[in-house]
Chain A
Amino acid sequence: MAGGVLTLTSANFDETVKSATTPVVVDFWAEWCGPCKAIAPVLAEIATEQAGKVTVAKLNVDDHGEVAQRYGIMSIPTLLVFHGGELRKKLVGAKPKAALLAELAEFVPSA
């Protein structure tokens, strides 16, 4: 999984977020969401560039709606940042790469 974007499901979501040794950025997305498609390549780049320092994952809200519901997601794309098993940040809406990196900087100092 080094450098790749992890696919989360309702089955592996909690375990992945809890056991991760790095901060985990989860992208809540769906096939029918244009802005989600626009940020997917940006997140893939971040996953590669920050490999080992941050885990980038995605969760399809169509297939695993209960996870989205649990976190009160009402808009996609939404990025949730988990660290030490705790939800630390919620970013709503597609953003350019520089803005995403700035938002993640507190979790990944060198980002």
Chain B
Amino acid sequence: MAAHEVVIIGSGPAGLTAAIYTARASLAPLVIEGEPSSTSDQPGGQLMLTTEVENFPGFPQGVMGPELMLKFREQAERFGATFVTEKATAVDLAARPFKVWVRDTLHEARAVIVSTGARSLMLGLPEETRLIGHGVSTCATCDGFFFRGQHIAVVGGGDSAIEEATFLTKFAETVTLVHRRDTLRASKIMRARATANPKIRFAWNSRVTRILGDAKVEGVVLTDTVSGEERTLEVTGLFVAIGHRPSTDLFVGQVDMHDNGYLKTRPGTSHTNVPGVFACGDVQDSVYRQAITAAGSGCMAAIDCERWLEAQH
């Protein structure tokens, strides 16, 4: 089996932009795009769980996240990118050609672009998994509809928590934002949006320590982070938006990472410490984490990759 010129792992805005550019450069990229799930860990990435994207340039009226990702994919396909709709299960980047496994199938590559993104963090409570789909949700856009007229909670204090809370007020009677601090970490515009929304309430200095209900969510126990006191919040839905962690498990011990798990790239480039392995998008960006910056860095990775491959000839 001949080695691919480039294998791209991950298919959010970064991976698909890298695919468009490398495909147009006749590198026939193979994109290992991931597999369907109801978390952000799926083909298309985090935008698959959003509704209207209002800040992606070129769409003055906004665009639906899943639709935008479908267009990215179509564009990559048009120029000859091919796709494997599964997850990469192992990599060996110690020798060239690099090896990428999808279960038992081995794909060899002269270069690898890593764009595995970041996945949402969960609370880690034992009852959380049992109640997913029964009031605990990983996807506000999928499930908000089912909480019409109900009282629900969103955990988190960042932009995505507020975006989710605001979206959920379209359906829910009240949305309580549960945050472990006494101020929001979110941007000014999002904070203003949250405080102006009469349906949004705040539970400051609070942590969700238990989810109540056997067959479905009936409430959550909040523990005050200052006094340690417990109280019950009666809600039928719990949406978790407490942040993300980079999906870099595959690369531990093979590619240099920061302490927080994000891949290290040479400043101003997409080069990792392994020559021929490039990183782009949220997997290497803990600062900006936008669709447009991911796409931009995907373009950088493609160009870096193309030049590196040329220099190898």
Which of A's residues lie within 8 Å of B, judged by CB?
A: 30, 32-39, 42, 61-62, 68, 72-78, 92-97
Contact = CB atoms under 8 A, between A and B. Distances in A.
Main secondary structure of the interface of A (DSSP, over half): loop
Interface size grouping (class) on chain B: 20 to 34
Nearest to A33: B142
Contacts of B49: 34-35
Contacts of B10: none
A61 B49 CA distance: 18
A35 B146 contact: no
Interface of B: 35-38, 42-44, 47-51, 64-66, 70, 85-87, 132-135, 137-139, 141-143, 145-147, 216, 237
Nearest to B134: A74
Contact of A33 (B37, B42, B43, B141): B141
Nearest to A68: B146
Contact of A75 (B36, B50, B132): B132
19 contacts: A32-B64, A34-B48, A37-B70, A38-B42, A38-B44, A39-B36, A74-B134, A74-B143, A75-B143, A76-B142, A77-B142, A78-B133, A92-B38, A92-B132, A93-B132, A94-B36, A94-B42, A97-B35, A97-B36
A63 B148 CA distance: 15
A76 B42 CA distance: 15
Given A34-B66, A35-B37, A96-B87, 6 more contacts: A32-B141, A73-B146, A93-B37, A94-B36, A94-B42, A96-B35
A35 B42 contact: yes
Contacts of A76: 142-143
Contacts of A72: 134, 216
A21 to B, nearest CB: 29
A32 B51 contact: yes
Nearest to B215: A72
A47 B263 CA distance: 41
Contacts of A39: 36
A16 to B, nearest CB: 23
Contacts of B135: 74
B216 A35 contact: no
Given A32-B141, A35-B48, A38-B48, A75 B38 contact: yes
B146 A95 contact: no
